[in-house]
Amino acid sequence: MKKLGTFFLKATKGLAIKEVVSINGQIDSKAAISVFDRGFLYGDSVYEVTLTYNKIPFLLDEHLDRLYRSARSIHMEFSFSREELIKDINNVIEKLEGDRQYIRVIVTRGAGEINLDPSAATKNNLVIIGRNLPEYPISWYEKGVSMIITDILRNSKRSMDPGVKSGNYLNNVLAMAEAKEKKAFDAIMLNYKGNITEGTTSNIWIVEGSRFVTPPLDAGLLGGITRKTLLLIASKNNLSVSEENISPERLKAADECFLTSSTKEIVPIISVDDCPIGTGTPGPHTKSLHKIYKKFVQESLKK
């Protein structure tokens, strides 16, 4: 194995490279992050995750637009250009030999004195992680998954805005820990009003009759790229779709339920808190929407 920063470039003769890490444009043994980095000390960072189809990063512009919006929201300026960032992302993709890759871009405010003053750091650290991403279990999509509604509340927009994709993820970590303790796939988080916001790393949808409903952004959630895409393509395919507040009771009474994320796409949720959703099996509208989404992905890659 060739050492790569604090990670390893995993390769065996004749096998594909499985993991590549770039730090400030360097893919070599000298790349490292200081323990004084504010991302490590305070979670003072923003990030994005996408995947590649046939080595093409999907909806990269949309992800980078959100990365820049997140940075502006926490008053973080980047010490590199968008062109340099894209170049570094492509370098990581080229180093990996698989077609389906997980790409994570992390930008920290940088290293500096140990204090809360953001001006203590003067230059960002840019970390790009690329990993081969195996196909997820087919059972997720054919049989669905079970989730819980966690006691851990989603952050208020007046504390740490969930619309900012930042390194502050401890409440999501705690929610996931509760889900795993209860042997659930994931957790759904509520806001302080008791309405559904999102999963720990995904957006939540329900189906009522033939209507697709997802919580509005002002419920306190991250505006997912897949969520935004589905709102657009559902309307273009004459599907009824809306953004409305959803109570736990309304969710459990829905005909269907599913989650969306960039890497997982659309995963049916068949029960919440051991309460079956609809028939307790992946619903027809969820399956139909997933087919429409997959078609959109393939058409997008041809452009």
Q: And the tokens for 242?
A: 């809306």
Query: How far from chain centre, in Å, is Cα 161?
Result: 16
β-pair type (211-214, 203-208): antiparallel
Residue with tokens 């409305």: 244
Q: In what order do the strands lie in the sheet with 101-108?
A: 19-23, 125-132, 101-108, 45-53, 56-57
How many CB atoms are closer than 10 A to CB 61? 10
- As a whole number of angstroms, the longest Cα–Cα distance in the chain is 57
Q: Given the residues 95, 165, 193, 303, select the one marked as catalytic.
A: 165
And the tokens for 125?
């650290």
Active-site residue, 87 included: no
Which residues belong to the active site?
165
